[in-house]
Amino acid sequence: MLHRFLEKGPWFRAKRFGYGAGLPFKWQGWAVLAVYVLAMVGLRLFADGNSAMPKIATVALMLIITAIFVVIVRNRTEGGWKWRGDFGA
């Protein structure tokens, strides 16, 4: 199953206008997005109910997970990340 998840090719569409990635178009992209959202919600709920975990640790973990997510999305975006579109023409 892991080999199907790690198959080559893009998982996210490039944005039509602007910089970055759009929504996923393959199941792997949706899975990565779902895991990211669940991790953010889970950390928030865990930190809210657990006074032993300092807020700075929660924020640090959220930043680390976000950085990992951004790297994955950037590496798996169709056509890479670059400025697209010309609003003035």
Query: 66 φ, ψ to 5°?
Result: -65, -40
Q: What percent of the chain has pLDDT over 70?
A: 85
Half-sphere exposure of 53 (CA within 13 A, CB side): 13
- pLDDT < 70 regions, the chain: 1-6, 50-52, 87-89
For residue 57, what pLDDT is reported? 85
Decide if 67 contacts 85 (C-beta within 8 A): no
For residue 44, what pLDDT is reported? 87
Beta carbons within 8 Å of 16's beta carbon, 6+ residues apart: 22, 84, 85
Helix (H, G, I), strand (E, B) or coil at 82: coil
| 31-56 tens-digit pLDDT | 999 999 999 999 888 887 766 677 88
